[in-house]
Amino acid sequence: MRPLRVFLCHASQDKPAVRKLHRYLKQRGVQPWLDELDLLPGENWEVEIPKALFSSDVILVCLSKNSVNKEGFVQKEITFALDKALEKPEGTIFIVPVKLEDCEVPRRLKQYQWVDVFRQDGYKRLMLGLQKRASGLGADVSPVILDETRRTTSPKTPKPEIKKAEEQIVPLPVKKEIKEEPKKEIPAPALEEKEPEVKFTQQKPFTKLLDPSSLSPKGTSKLKSDKQIIARQRKAEPDFVLEFSRRLMGAGWILLLVILVGGFSLNYYFNNPLVPENTPSPTQTVTPKTPTFTSVPFTETPVPTNSAIPTPTLGIGSTMTGEHGETLVYVPAGKFRMGSDNGEDDEKPVHTVYLDAFWIDQTEVTNKQYQACVDAGTCEPPSFFNSSTHQNYYGNSEFDNYPVLYVNWDKANRYCEVWAGGDLPTEAQWEKAARGTDERTYPWGENINCNKSNYNIKCIGDISPVGNYESGKSLYGVFDMAGNVWEWVNDYYENDYYVMLDDNVSNPKGPSGSDINVLRGGSWYSTENDSRSADRDGDTFQNAGPHIGFRCARSP
């Protein structure tokens, strides 16, 4: 199954608008042909362009005030398209005039219904026409992705159904264990439970002894009263033991040793009872039996230490493992310069932004990671399980380490908030994690090539596993922030948002509301311009395309 092939016929003055149309089509499973991307250096464009026109399923003629009357090769392309349209069955959608702005449609194209993409529903109507054409070509052509229902409520405001789902998800096993662990009660030693039975007086020094004869079969111990213990001491203990005990008692810090000595003495005299009539003479040597520790049912209480646990120092290069095994990298607090004076209008003006420290996923969220969330009942599956070039892309272990696709903004946001315990990164967080504080053009610095990024359809021509470009990491160690897949961020998109910002803004959250959310980073088919760290793009929040993924962030 192949994607629908579309040729973009346009004048050179309309390149910026046509590039955005090209991105829009690619994100919806269409294969548009654009000369600056699909013509290789050295190829003869007068040969290659007609070949591309001939192999296309649909020709979009892009019109503007500058191009409708422009002489040159664009008129040849239109002529070729009209000649080829005569070969198509009646009713076939083959030529579509696309008005990029309010302008007059050339007379020879007026027989075809045009579409105004500069109007609110223009892109949606265009996709309906392309979908009809794809359906007419049969099962060999994959369907295009249509925009879903427009947003009726702000995604930043939790919806009732999401709240209900969150209530069901709160008692997840991992989170429950973390919450209840501090409440576990550790039983006190048996010695401490019985200790209140012993009476203490200031006049009588005492020694706590355990009576071996009172041991139960299960090894439990019973303490006799202090009077019995003192009486036994006076009757049975030799003077040297009493004297030794008194001296030990004088040193209060060694109470534990007193208990051991008393226990050993009791064990000795129970095994070698003394009879007054046969008290040995001073010259006679008494050899006591070797005491055993098992005769004294004593459990030593560990003495806690007051040594402080050092707090780790976080900085560039610090990493953390999330509760689901994902790796996050640390981005320190501080200022950086956001935007570009050499980029598109929506990247201007350059302004200073202060951000608190945060963590961000080292790679894009993979099929395997997202499937774990789906299997747990927290996330919804992607809209499609295929990619542009692979059947059974999602759910196939061969692609476990590839970025998940066909996840719209709502699904990506739910994964980050409910499953990963964070958020989609803000646009400012994403850009700082990508370019650092020294205004790099790309995550690694300057000059892009196929060894550092999967960014041009001519490099690989397909999606690649995450973390595949070691030399393309950012200053903080983040992978794939140029190319592979576009990435959703938290902010709404407004073309003039930077103009409304003050310099030295702190932790910006984006404009207040829109039907479009920001996309960053480019994908495997993007130009080097779209792969820059400052480049901004956007799409409707319900779109789920074959070239869009995401990653998560969280605060410390």
Model confidence over 266-288: pLDDT tens digits? 555 555 544 443 444 444 443 43
Composition of the chain by helix, strand, coil, percent to 5: 35, 15, 55
Peptide bond into 155 cis (omega under 30): no
Q: What is the pLDDT of residues 24-75, one digit of tens each?
A: 898 888 999 998 888 888 888 878 888 888 889 999 989 888 777 666 566 7
pLDDT over 70 for what percent of the chain? 69
Q: Measuring CA to CA, how many Å separate 13 from each of 74, 228, 419?
A: 12, 108, 46
Q: What are phi and psi of 462, to 5 degrees?
A: -165, 165
Q: Is 33 helix (H, G, I), strand (E, B) or coil?
A: strand
CATH architecture of 315-554: Alpha-Beta Complex (3.90)
For residue 363, what pLDDT is reported? 98
pLDDT over 90 for what percent of the chain? 40
Q: What is the pLDDT of residues 167-186, one digit of tens each?
A: 343 344 444 344 444 444 44
**Cα–Cα distance measured from residue 3 to residue 145, given in angstroms and rounded to the nearest whole number:** 11
**Cα–Cα distance measured from residue 493 to residue 491, given in angstroms and rounded to the nearest whole number:** 6
Domain range list for the chain? 4-136, 194-275+290-295, 315-554
For residue 491, what pLDDT is reported? 95
Beta bridge pairs of residue 238: none
pLDDT bracket for residue 450 (50, 70, 90): very high
Query: What are the DSSP E strand ranges found in 372-504?
Result: 486-492
For residue 400, what pLDDT is reported? 97
**Cα–Cα distance measured from residue 414 to residue 392, given in angstroms and rounded to the nearest whole number:** 24
Q: Measuring CA to CA, how many Å separate 290 from each of 221, 278, 295?
A: 22, 22, 11
What are the structure tokens assigned to 253, written together? Answer: 């810090």
429 or 461, higher pLDDT = 429
**Cα–Cα distance measured from residue 311 to residue 406, given in angstroms and rounded to the nearest whole number:** 41
For residue 387, what pLDDT is reported? 87
**Cα–Cα distance measured from residue 93 to residue 90, given in angstroms and rounded to the nearest whole number:** 9
What are the structure tokens assigned to 496, written together? Answer: 């003039």
8 A C-beta contact, residue 9 and residue 61: yes
8 A C-beta contact, residue 453 and residue 472: yes
Beta bridge pairs of residue 320: 328
For the residues 109-128, what does the mean pLDDT come to? Answer: 87
Mean pLDDT (the chain, rounded): 77
The pTM of this model reads 0.52
- Strands 516-520 and 351-355 come out as unpaired
For residue 268, what pLDDT is reported? 52
Best-predicted range by mean pLDDT among 166-170, 231-235, 484-488, 514-518?
A: 484-488
**Cα–Cα distance measured from residue 268 to residue 368, given in angstroms and rounded to the nearest whole number:** 67
Residue 156, pLDDT > 50, answer no
Residue 147, pLDDT > 70, answer no
Residue 293, pLDDT > 90, answer no
Residue 521, pLDDT > 80, answer yes
For residue 463, what pLDDT is reported? 93
For residue 119, what pLDDT is reported? 86
Range with lowest mean pLDDT among 255-269, 380-394, 409-423, 448-462: 255-269
CATH architecture of 4-136: 3-Layer(aba) Sandwich (3.40)
8 A C-beta contact, residue 520 and residue 535: yes
Best-predicted range by mean pLDDT among 46-55, 157-166, 470-479?
A: 470-479
For residue 229, what pLDDT is reported? 42
pLDDT bracket for residue 198 (50, 70, 90): very low
For residue 50, what pLDDT is reported? 82
554 or 542, higher pLDDT = 554
239 or 414, higher pLDDT = 414
8 A C-beta contact, residue 524 and residue 463: yes
pLDDT bracket for residue 81 (50, 70, 90): confident
pLDDT bracket for residue 211 (50, 70, 90): very low
For the residues 514-522, what does the mean pLDDT come to? Answer: 91
